[in-house]
A and B are shown apart, each in its own frame.
Chain A
């Protein structure tokens, strides 16, 4: 029963990683860049929700919408100001700019909200705790909500990518940017939309993360960000189902590793599994194999 409860916790943490990883993988697939500032957008989203609940007195749903809206604006602004001028630059130059952006967001948050950790209000998710097997297995409302949110996001996003015109444009741009441009697709707008979706998802992930682990600091987003990035690579970067599977597996491995192998070595176990997987599948679980042309 303890195993089952650990498994559920792992699924919940993995769902958060998966939602964050979606942002990484979509941006990578379409703009071919590692957006290191993504983890910090999560933190900003959580702070906005915190302010909405604590200071502005908004109801939870409005707080969620406010966080998503402001993060979307933030994502589009970051892309337009910092990444768009570097479309032709080397990938390393873009990477360093993204790192600079990550520092910028962290330090802005430090100035606005201070270094002291804030305790995220628990009113955000009000689901009762579910008791199964005669109180032997308890699943908290936050855990359930996280898993349900993940499933909902997965369905909506898959439909969006495969059914809508914009989704089609995204797939085109990720396949061949030049050809997409020739076919009359507005590449800049497609990339902006990708950033907008990724950032809105980051806001959701931030709220879920801080509901489960209620300490909110300017550096809150960086470690989950790196783990989610690892999850995206684990599943094959650029692939949306890959990000989902990678995120969930990573969360489960982390919680089970901490529970049964060693608490101190939890992170090391996660990264070790990643390395082993990449040795046998060098482009991740669902990544396309790289073909070399001579």
Chain B
């Protein structure tokens, strides 16, 4: 099978799975439990988060620990824009408001991603990771001090100053209150599709190949004339903008939202989705984001032990998928399924095992 055909099949499967899942959800909406229904929009948001972080971690090869920061910027921009349009301009059309909010959330987060990317992408490895973590924490800390209100058709901002004229939209550490919940599952689905179109097209384009080249060997990529910083920046900004859009949808799904919701743990959670889905694997990111968002809900039967079981599952999954024995098993399985037969892969896996011993 040619590489091109393989990619085509992979993309078709990815889109197929997402569309099928959406249709099934709509078909069985009546049978779903309340808690599962409430999870549908967050699941879409986390899928977009995972797919976008996968672009940074998997495709461009930089560990980012501050992805939730971009999500929170998108969320609060979305809430401000939506509240401004509703209270300042009496825009009643919810769909239009949602679309404008999401676009604004993505744009602001993308711009911030660009500004942060300038210093961040100069660093390497763990130092880059810690700086993204630092930026995520700074964003949360600064958002804790921002107050916004609508006065007539005017937006008023205050910093560490809660006395503003008009209706308050953002209230510092207490976050956004009485947000009109305009997010819909269909919008979430369309956002997931859009994110997939953007990311998969980017990966399979000339730009995407350049990004992967910088990941695989920075010096070699530079020596064939690839501008490393530029291509890493493209991946970083695209991911930030997508995260901002996911954030706007997420923010408009709840009536209240505090900046403390987007702590460092949330960035880590998204990273867990990406790693468990297989780093660099977009479909894997989609599936693991879905499963791992539903899993804590499904574990409600365990009540107090819920997060404990989740933690144990996480460790066991990493141990099982990363030991040589299971890797060899999966290689054999892949060999059996492919037309060339298992022999070649068995040899490869044995040789790998030999290297380790």
Contacts and interface: CB of A to CB of B under 8 A. Distances in A.
A127 interface: no
Contact of B275 (A96, A103, A265, A275): A96
A278 B123 contact: yes
Given A85-B319, A99-B314, 17 more contacts: A85-B322, A85-B323, A89-B318, A93-B322, A96-B272, A96-B314, A100-B311, A103-B307, A104-B308, A106-B307, A110-B304, A237-B126, A274-B134, A275-B135, A282-B123, A282-B124, A294-B219
Interface string B120-153: 0011101100110111011001101100000000
A86 B318 contact: yes
B213 to A, nearest CB: 15
Contact of B127 (A103, A111, A283): A283
Contact of A278 (B127, B137, B219, B272): B127
B264 interface: yes
Contacts of A229: 130
Contacts of A103: 307, 310-311, 314
Interface string A96-113: 110111011011101100
Contact of B315 (A104, A108, A271, A284): A104
Nearest to A233: B130
Contacts of A110: 304, 307
A235 B323 CA distance: 34
A262 interface: yes
A219 B268 CA distance: 16
A89 B304 CA distance: 32
Nearest to A263: B160
A107 B134 CA distance: 25
Nearest to A279: B119
A264 interface: yes
A283 B126 CA distance: 9
A195 B117 CA distance: 35
Contacts of B272: 96, 99
A226 B126 CA distance: 14
Contact of A97 (B63, B124, B319, B324): B319
Contacts of B339: none
For B122, B311, B321, the residue with the greatest tally of chain A CB atoms inside 10 Å of its CB is B311
A159 to B, nearest CB: 28
A86 B308 contact: no
Nearest to B130: A233
B312 interface: yes
Given A34-B126, A265-B145, A278 B131 contact: yes
Q: Is the interface of A mostly helix, strand, loop or mixed?
A: helix
Contacts of A96: 271-272, 275-276, 314, 318
A26 to B, nearest CB: 15
A268 B275 contact: no
Interface in B294-316: 304-305, 307-308, 310-312, 314-315
B107 interface: no
Contacts of B141: 264-268, 271
B34 interface: no
Contacts of B340: none
B5 interface: no
Contacts of A230: 130, 133-134
Contact of A233 (B119, B122, B127, B307): B127
A135 interface: no
Contacts of B319: 82, 85-86, 97
A1 interface: no
B79 interface: no
27 contacts: A28-B126, A34-B126, A85-B322, A92-B63, A93-B318, A93-B322, A97-B318, A103-B307, A103-B314, A104-B308, A104-B312, A106-B307, A108-B308, A110-B304, A110-B307, A111-B304, A226-B133, A264-B144, A264-B160, A265-B141, A266-B141, A268-B141, A272-B134, A275-B119, A275-B135, A278-B123, A279-B119
